[in-house]
Each structure stands twice: as C-alpha cells, then as structure tokens.
C-alpha cells in the first residue's frame, strides 16, 4: 500500500525538526518518520550545550578558527564560515520560539569547553541542552498543521526511479506491515552510528541505518574513518556508559590516574581542555601505563551547590550509583560518541543522489573535518537542517509527487523474508570487533582482520538492519585502512604522523571502492 506527501523527513532530532519546520513554511505537507518516539535521538542526549557567537568578547572569526584547528586540516572553510555566521541567526530564532537557555540575572550564561578560545557555550537546565532543543522544536513543529510526526515508523529503504530518490519504504507502526511513501524529496536526518562500538554514549537508535540506506541507494559517503571518542564516559561495571559532559572539564574538572596523580600535563600543554581525540588517546595511554580499565574525573575542588545546579542530571545519575560528584572521583574511560563522516553533501544538504537531501550527524558537510569541535553538533543540525529544508523546497518547486509504484528497491535494503530486526549475535560481534580492531588506536593488521571478519558475517543470511550494520562497519574499517596517516579522530599506530599528501577526503560509493577528493563540495571536486 502506498501513500503520497510533499516531503519526507527521516528522523526527529534537531536537524530533522528544523528541516521540517522550514519545509512547512510554504504550506507543504511534511511526513516525519522516526523509528522510536519522536523525542528519541542523539539530540535528546546532548548535555554539553551549543556553541554560538553571542558574547561581546567573541566573534565569528574566532569561532571559525577554533573549529578549523580542531578539524586538523580537513574542514571545508566555507562550510565552517556558514556554520558560525548563520548559527547566531538560528539560535536567536530559537530563543524567539521559546527555548529556555540558562540565564543569570536575565543574561545568557556562556560556558567554556575544550578547544574553544572564548566562553561561547549556551546550556539549558544545566546539562540537558539537547532535551530542551527537542522540546522547543517539537512544540514549534506542532504549530505547523502540515507536519505529520509518525513515531515507531522504521524506514527500511529508499525508493529510486531513474537515478532519483522518489520516496521510502517503511514499516507502518499500526498495521505492522511495509508501506511505500512517495514525495518530491527525502531529507535524511537519522543521526550517527555510535552503536557500532561496544562502548558508546549514543542511544540504542544510533545504528546508522540512514547512512547505510543512502549508500545502498548510490549516494557517496565521505570521511567514514573519522570517529570521535568522548574521553569521559562513566565507567562502572554493569552500567551504561553515561556521558560526563565536556563542560565538567571546562568548569575545572581534573583527570587523575589510579594513584591520584594529574596526568594530562605529560601529554598536552592544553591539559584537560585539549581536543577530544588527544584527551581520549591520553587516557588510553595512561590506562595502559598503569594497568587499569579507567581513570578518574575529579570535580571535588568545586562547590557542591554549584555542581548540583550546573550539572543536575549528572549529579542525580551518579547519585543512583552511590557517587557524589562533589566528593568522589568519578571513574571514566572513552566511548564512541560522534561520526564526523557520513553522507556527502554540499552546503545546502544536497547529496550526490538527486532527490536525497541530508542534515546533521548523518552527513559529512566538511564542517567538522577530522575532529568535531565540542558543542558544534547541535549548531550544525540547526543551521544545515534549515538549509536542507530550504533547498529541497526550492529545488522541487516545479516537481510533482511521482506516481506510486514506479520505484525499485536497492541492493541489500528490501530483504526477503528475514525481517528487519537486527540479530543480537551480529550486533554483539560487530560491536566487539569495532572496539577491539577499529577503535581509538588502529593499525594495518587489526584493520585487515576486522574486514575479514566483517566479510564472513556479511556472507550469511542477514536481516535488513543487520546488513546495514555490517556494511557501515566495513565502510569505517575500509576507510581507516586506506588512510595511512594519523589525523584528528583517526589514529594509526603504524602511521603516527600527519602528512600533507593525505589532506584529502575519503569517498566511498557502492561497487566503486575508495577514492579521494580535495574538497568536500562535490560539485567543485568533480569539476577539478
């Protein structure tokens, strides 16, 4: 059974909601599909805040410079300029829509985080910024009568006709049966793939299905080797890896080893405020040196009332495990957190597959380069979600919704009789391999062994989700093997230096292997 709408948005995080609101401005009908409840996304779990130029001692050039430094030479300067200049406009718009950022005496509170040269991080309810983004954007989207949010509607594949994306196949949450939905354009906003790893700060929904669907449909993927590991996830046995935000170190938190010694002075002059990739590797090195499974984040020099007010969710969560963040050093270790790579897009969210747009963590716009600057992710979703919505509406202004039943499924996405649920055994095996062989520190032998195991897994009869999961793992490992240097979130122990000849982007496309591009903007790259 097929349906029609003007536009389809997959995902209800900050990028998906902002794109939907933009599309609805002209009265277009927008179907928002999400595989869980509407509020369940990576956005919901963002604690640290959103970086934006609003204070008198800050400017867009400083924010741009900080982003470029963190990106280790792979940021697209034009993409970064777009982010930091338009970000202020869209944050002010959110404030007008009623988002509740933390204030003191009526003035916005600006926090400090790693690798930022100014205090430019806005927070909401201390450490629940992402949840406040989702709340305010869902409320704003709810005011648009043409936006239809459908939770628990798992999208399974893109529908392609004559090389153009014309719709999606999804599982109807009521009928529990597959349905086809056709539209002028599809905007992919499904977030990242942190669940590829055994230890992650990401929610269960972050399995990267959107990336895999786009890849199988023929879209180009870029920079998949660059995965960011958050340095400080709470590390307790039989407990989920709860994120301890960057802002805790920004407010004065200190990293110590099992002997109570501060160790970051031995690794980087920026200490605990060094970029995330450096802090994560430093923690791994210190754990190996001391023979331990974690280190400790020490907040005990700060006032308890301040900590309880500044980090209420973290304070309460740690308390459930018998830890007082004002009195107890907190056991932490790195966990996968963010994918810098993804669907290759231009600055307006256009993928290399006509009819398919994308925004947020599912994409690679060139904003983050080899390593994302802390608290730039919510801003990216907001800015490029709006831009993708605007471009999709403009590009398709003369289009009509294609006739139902004309599309064809793509390889590996519309499976036969094996269902869509991910195999627990496949998921556990892939996550373990990725953590052990394609993790924070990599080398040729471990990556080749990982790829061999992924090939063995892929040779079996897999469900749609399982095949997507294994495919993404192969993309990350293949790109990591291809890049014979260390840069940003990608560290090769056998190629520990950064080299100018590798200042290129990895590009992967179905059945064509890996190529390189000097620029992320694919129109420019193809013209060279």
Cα 504 → chain centroid: 21
Radius of gyration of the CA atoms of the chain, in A: 22
Specify the pLDDT at position 288: 93
Name the DSSP class of 350.
Answer: B
Active-site residue, 276 included: yes
Specify the pLDDT at position 415: 44
Q: What number of CA atoms fall less than 13 Å from residue 53's CA on the CB side?
A: 21
Name the DSSP class of 422.
Answer: P
3-state secondary structure of 304: helix
Structure tokens of 331?
């056991």
- CATH class of segment(s) 230-335: alpha beta
State the DSSP string of 461-511.
---HHHHHHHHHHHHHHHHHHH--S-BTTB-BTTB-S--GGG-SEEEEETT
Rounded Cα distance between 505 and 526, Å, is 13
Alpha helices in 110-257 (DSSP H): 129-142, 209-217, 246-250
| Of 140, 169, 249, 276, catalytic | 276
Hey, which residues does 517 pair with through a beta bridge? 505
3-state secondary structure of 235: coil
3-state secondary structure of 295: strand
3-state secondary structure of 415: coil
Specify the pLDDT at position 283: 97
- Give the 3-state secondary structure percentages of the chain, helix then strand then coil, rounded to 5: 35, 20, 45
Can you give the residue ranges of every domain in the chain? 230-335
Structure tokens of 434?
């990725």
Hey, which residues does 187 pair with through a beta bridge? 9, 357
3-state secondary structure of 133: helix
The per-residue pLDDT string of the chain (528 residues; one tens digit each, 9 = 90 and over) reads 578 999 999 999 999 999 999 999 989 999 999 987 766 555 555 566 899 999 889 999 999 999 999 999 999 999 999 999 999 999 999 999 999 999 988 899 888 777 788 989 999 887 788 889 989 999 999 999 999 999 999 899 999 999 999 999 998 888 888 899 999 999 999 999 999 999 999 988 899 999 999 999 999 999 999 999 999 999 998 777 888 988 899 899 999 999 999 999 999 999 998 888 889 999 999 999 999 999 999 999 999 999 999 999 899 999 999 999 999 999 999 999 999 999 999 999 999 999 999 999 999 999 999 999 989 999 999 999 999 999 999 999 888 877 655 555 554 444 444 456 778 999 999 999 999 999 999 999 999 999 999 999 999 889 889 999 999 999 999 999 999 999 999 999 999 999 999 999 999 999 888 999 988 876 644 433
Rounded Cα distance between 159 and 269, Å, is 51
Crossing angle of the two packed helices 377-395 and 77-97, in degrees rounded to 10: 90
Q: What size, in residues, is the chain?
A: 528
Rounded Cα distance between 509 and 525, Å, is 15
Rounded Cα distance between 197 and 217, Å, is 25
269 burial level (CB within 10 Å; 0-12, 13-18, 19+)? exposed
């Amino acid at each position: 059974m097929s349906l029609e709408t003007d536009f389809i948005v997959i995902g209800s995080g900050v990028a998906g909601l902002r794109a939907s609101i933009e599309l609805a401005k002209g009265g277009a009908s927008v179907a928002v599909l999400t595989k869980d409840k509407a509020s369940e996304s990576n956005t919901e779990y963002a604690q640290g805040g959103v970086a934006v130029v609003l204070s008198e001692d800050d400017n867009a050039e400083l924010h741009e410079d900080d982003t470029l430094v963190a990106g280790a030479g792979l940021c697209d300067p034009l993409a970064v300029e777009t982010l930091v200049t338009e970000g202020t406009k869209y944050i002010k718009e959110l404030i007008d829509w009623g988002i509740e950022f933390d204030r003191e005496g009526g003035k916005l509170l600006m926090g400090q985080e790693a690798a930022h040269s100014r205090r430019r991080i806005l927070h909401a309810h201390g450490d629940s910024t992402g949840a406040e983004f989702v709340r305010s954007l869902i409320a704003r989207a709810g005011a648009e009568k043409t936006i239809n949010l459908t939770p628990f509607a798992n999208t399974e594949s893109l529908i392609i006709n004559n090389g153009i994306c014309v719709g999606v196949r999804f599982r109807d949450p009521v009928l529990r049966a597959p349905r086809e939905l056709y539209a002028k354009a599809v905007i992919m906003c499904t977030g990242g793939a942190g669940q590829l790893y055994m230890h992650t700060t990401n929610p269960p929904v972050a399995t990267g299905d959107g990336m895999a669907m786009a890849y199988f449909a023929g879209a180009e993927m870029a920079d998949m080797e660059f995965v960011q590991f958050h340095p400080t996830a709470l590390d307790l046995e039989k407990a989920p890896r709860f994120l301890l935000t960057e802002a805790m170190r920004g407010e004065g938190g200190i990293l110590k080893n099992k002997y109570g010694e501060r160790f970051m002075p031995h690794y980087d002059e920026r200490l605990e405020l060094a970029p995330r990739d450096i802090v994560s590797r430093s923690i791994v090195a210190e754990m190996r040196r001391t023979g331990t499974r974690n280190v400790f984040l020490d907040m005990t020099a700060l006032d308890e009332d301040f900590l309880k007010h500044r980090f209420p969710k973290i304070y309460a969560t740690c308390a459930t495990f018998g830890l007082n963040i004002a009195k107890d050093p907190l056991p932490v270790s790195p966990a996968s957190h963010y994918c810098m790579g993804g669907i290759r897009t231009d600055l307006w969210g256009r993928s290399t597959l006509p009819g398919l747009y994308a925004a947020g963590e599912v994409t690679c716009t060139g904003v983050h380069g080899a390593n994302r600057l802390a608290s730039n992710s919510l801003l990216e979703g907001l800015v490029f979600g709006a831009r993708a919505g605007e471009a999709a509406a403009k590009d398709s202004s003369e289009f009509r919704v294609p006739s139902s039943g004309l599309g064809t499924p793509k390889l590996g996405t519309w499976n036969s009789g094996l269902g869509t649920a991910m195999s627990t055994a496949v998921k556990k095996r892939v996550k373990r391999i990725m953590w052990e062989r394609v993790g924070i520190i990599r080398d040729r032998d471990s990556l080749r062994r990982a790829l061999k195991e992924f090939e063995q897994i892929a040779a079996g009869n897999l469900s749609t989700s399982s095949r997507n999961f294994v495919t993404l793992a192969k993309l990350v490992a293949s790109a990591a093997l291809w890049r014979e240097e260390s840069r940003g979130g990608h560290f090769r122990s056998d190629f520990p230096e950064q080299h100018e000849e590798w200042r290129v982007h990895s590009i992967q496309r179905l059945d064509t292997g890996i190529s390189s591009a000097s620029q992320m903007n694919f129109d420019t790259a193809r013209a060279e």
